Amino acid sequence: MNRPAPQTGTSADKAPPADTRLMADWRRRVGALTDPMRAMLAEVCEQGGPAVADHFYGAMLEDPRAARFLDVNQVRERLKPSLQRWLKALLAATTGEIANLYALQEHVGHVHARIGIPVDLVGRGARMLKDDLHAGIRARAGDDAAALEVVLAVDGLVDIAMETMTRAYARSREVVGALDGSFRLFSLIQNIGTERERQRALLLAWENSLLYALTAEQPGPPQPLLISRSEFGLWFLHKGMASFGDTAETREVSAISERIDAALRERLPTAANAGERRLLLDQLRALADQIRSLVSIMFDGIGDLESGRDALTRLLNRRFLPTILRREISLQANTGRQFAVLMIDLDHFKSINDTHGHAAGDRALQHVASLLMENTRGSDYLFRYGGEEFVVVLGSVDEVEALGIAEGLRRAIAASPVALGDSLRLPVTASLGVAMQDGHPDYERVLARADAAMYQAKRGGRDRVVLAGSDMPDPPGARVLRY
Ligand SMILES: Nc1nc2c(ncn2[C@@H]2O[C@H](COP(=O)(O)OP(=O)(O)OP(=O)(O)O)[C@@H](O)[C@H]2O)c(=O)[nH]1
């Protein structure tokens, strides 16, 4: 598991070289600050900082778009103090500190882009900060020329910080846009023919369960029959819509699925006799037929996709991970369905290479990749993350389900040695870190938590699952740790 820090998607390594003109201008402005001006700015930050931060985040939390990214505790404990520190760093900087400030602003710009913070909201925040700082300056120095000088200096510094951030933001959004676009092309499907047949079969399986339930004496509650809960429905929500995009067909499939589920919820409990249930069944099957035709049209439309997959394992390439995580984060915000990230690292993999050769190592990687495919659902995303590391994104799961799938994967890997030649069976184990998405808008965080949990699993002795930050009890017989 030796590897450099993960660099996914919009990381700084993809940023253009620093804008030297902008930095020079920044230095010039900072150099022009006189000692009295600096003293005034220090006082405004020191005494007015907490009120500025209160006002800033109070207004942000009132905006529903910002409220999606912020929660009250996070604002109180982390963001307000960090805004005050940032103000101080910006307004009290010396020319020698500009390079660091520039890097910090770029970082913030990248994070905003990853999270998808609307750019007008950032602009509004800057305007509010300036207004409050102006008020603080005028309260101390009145309206004389010296105060005006300080106001102009503050405006210049805040604007230049914003410009640096916006530059990084714009660059990151370009990367995000390009990745999202290419993901649509590549994501879908390892083999379009197979995937098409698989989804037809899943739809049919859902219809059969409907047939079975509706012809039974007691059809039971509607919940387990909902198409949105079926494996087809999960595939459509997590992968179908992401891959085919917002088209007339995908919208129509969503609308028909909602009609099916509404009919099940409303009419199943009151469909007292066999005749009524038969009628309901016929209507639902007619709707399922429409879905079938639409899905067929969607598959016909995508023609020849390249694979976008890791050549050795056929799993998804990690460069698409940010696209998927961003999408799952917004799906969670819109639907309330949680998702989980599993970080999986094979144990002592180096010794397999060292003892049996690199080809045997490759074979082991392919073997584990196929175990991952066999032991996950059609709606899950499987990535080759690095050499002997994999990431699985589990959509629509709670903590218990995620843990169950992770533990199932651990067991499947441990129970299924790699066949090398006719007689050699090589045991392989893996350490797994599981992180539930905790509502934080930056996908790097859930990845980092899964990664930390996986490291914990290594430290705990390997061949185990560690759940990041949880109080739940371990399932019986499972090698699950909490920390
Ligand atoms: N065969 C093969 N080996 C790979 C590939 N990618 C990475 N590796 C090897 O995977 C090994 C990873 O070793 P380490 O990171 O030291 O970790 P480890 O031996 O798995 O030990 P722990 O993770 O601590 O349990 C290195 O020897 C890499 O050369 C690959 O595509 N094929």
pLDDT of residue 60: 84
pLDDT of residue 471: 43
- For residue 362 and ligand 1, the question of a CB distance below 6 A is answered with yes
What average pLDDT does the segment 204-215 reach? 89
Mean of pLDDT over the chain: 85
pLDDT of residue 169: 87
Lowest mean pLDDT among 35-39, 184-188, 475-479: 475-479
pLDDT class of 476 with cuts at 50, 70, 90: very low
- For residue 48 and ligand 1, the question of a CB distance below 6 A is answered with no
Alpha-carbon distance of 407 to 475, in angstroms, equals 9
CATH architecture of 12-182: Orthogonal Bundle (1.10)
Alpha-carbon distance of 119 to 103, in angstroms, equals 19
pLDDT class of 336 with cuts at 50, 70, 90: confident
Alpha-carbon distance of 1 to 59, in angstroms, equals 44
CA-nearest residue for atom 5, ligand 1, is 387
Has residue 185 got a pLDDT over 70? no
What average pLDDT does the segment 347-357 reach? 92
| Tokens at 285, concatenated | 């099957």
Alpha-carbon distance of 84 to 287, in angstroms, equals 57
pLDDT of residue 9: 43
116 vs 190, which has greater pLDDT? 116
- For residue 1 and ligand 1, the question of a CB distance below 6 A is answered with yes
Alpha-carbon distance of 172 to 111, in angstroms, equals 9
Q: What percent of the chain has pLDDT over 70?
A: 88
- For residue 347 and ligand 1, the question of a CB distance below 6 A is answered with yes
Neighbours of 126 (CB within 10 A): 18
Alpha-carbon distance of 110 to 123, in angstroms, equals 16
Measured in angstroms, how far is the CA atom of residue 349 from the centroid of ligand 1? 5
pTM value?
0.64
Q: What percent of the chain has pLDDT over 90?
A: 48
Mutational pocket test of ligand 1: of 350, 413, 459, the residue with most ligand atoms within 8 Å of the beta carbon: 350
Q: Among 214, 210, 192, 298, which residue's Cα sits nearest to residue 254?
A: 298
Give SS3 for 437: coil
Alpha-carbon distance of 445 to 440, in angstroms, equals 7
pLDDT of residue 393: 97
Has residue 445 got a pLDDT over 50? yes
Has residue 304 got a pLDDT over 60? no
- For residue 459 and ligand 1, the question of a CB distance below 6 A is answered with no
- For residue 458 and ligand 1, the question of a CB distance below 6 A is answered with yes
Q: What is the number of helices (H) and of strands (E) in the chain?
A: 18, 9
pLDDT class of 6 with cuts at 50, 70, 90: very low
Lowest mean pLDDT among 146-150, 151-155, 216-220: 216-220
Q: Determine how β-strand 418-420 pairs with β-strand 424-426.
A: antiparallel
CA-nearest residue for atom 10, ligand 1, is 350
pLDDT of residue 473: 42
Location of structure tokens 């709670």: 398
| Tokens at 314, concatenated | 């056929």
CA-nearest residue for atom 8, ligand 1, is 387
* Superfamily name with CATH number, domain 316-482: Reverse transcriptase/Diguanylate cyclase domain (3.30.70.270)
Q: Determine how β-strand 381-386 pairs with β-strand 316-317.
A: parallel
pLDDT of residue 71: 75
Q: Among the residues of 315-422, which ranges form H helices?
A: 321-335, 349-356, 358-374, 399-415
1 vs 432, which has greater pLDDT? 432
pLDDT class of 191 with cuts at 50, 70, 90: low
| Tokens at 297, concatenated | 């049209």
CA-nearest residue for atom 18, ligand 1, is 348
CA-nearest residue for atom 12, ligand 1, is 350
- For residue 356 and ligand 1, the question of a CB distance below 6 A is answered with no
pLDDT class of 371 with cuts at 50, 70, 90: very high
User: Domain map of the chain by residue range?
Assistant: 12-182, 192-301, 316-482
- For residue 463 and ligand 1, the question of a CB distance below 6 A is answered with no
Ligand 1 atom with least separation from CA of 364: 1
- For residue 283 and ligand 1, the question of a CB distance below 6 A is answered with no
Cα distance between the two ends of the chain: 20
What average pLDDT does the segment 337-357 reach? 94
Amino acid at 173: R
Q: Which tens digit of pLDDT belongs to each residue from 236-279?
A: 998 888 777 778 889 999 999 999 999 999 888 887 788 888 88
The DSSP bridge partners found for residue 390 are 344, 384
Measured in angstroms, how far is the CA atom of residue 395 from the centroid of ligand 1? 28
pLDDT of residue 32: 94
Measured in angstroms, how far is the CA atom of residue 357 from the centroid of ligand 1? 12
What average pLDDT does the segment 61-81 reach? 79
Measured in angstroms, how far is the CA atom of residue 1 from the centroid of ligand 1? 6
Measured in angstroms, how far is the CA atom of residue 367 from the centroid of ligand 1? 15
Alpha-carbon distance of 242 to 393, in angstroms, equals 14
Has residue 383 got a pLDDT over 80? yes
Residues whose CB falls within 8 Å of the CB of residue 170, separated by 6 or more in sequence, listed in order: none
pLDDT of residue 442: 85
**Residue 94, class by beta-carbon neighbours within 10 Å (0-12 exposed, 13-18 middle, 19+ buried)?**
exposed
Mutational pocket test of ligand 1: of 3, 318, 349, 466, the residue with most ligand atoms within 8 Å of the beta carbon: 349
pLDDT class of 1 with cuts at 50, 70, 90: low
Ligand 1 atom with least separation from CA of 345: 23
Range 179-191 burial, b when 16+ CB lie within 10 A, else e: bbeebbebbbbee
Range 239-274 burial, b when 16+ CB lie within 10 A, else e: bbbbbbeeeebbebbbebbeebbebbeebbeebeee
CA-nearest residue for atom 14, ligand 1, is 1
CA-nearest residue for atom 7, ligand 1, is 387
pLDDT of residue 219: 61
pLDDT of residue 293: 87
- For residue 346 and ligand 1, the question of a CB distance below 6 A is answered with yes
Q: Hey, which CATH number is domain 192-301, 1.10.10, 1.10.287, 1.20.120, 2.70.98?
A: 1.20.120
Q: Which tens digit of pLDDT belongs to each residue from 389-437?
A: 999 999 999 999 999 999 999 999 999 999 987 788 999 999 999 999 9
Measured in angstroms, how far is the CA atom of residue 212 from the centroid of ligand 1? 49
What average pLDDT does the segment 89-104 reach? 93
pLDDT of residue 13: 41
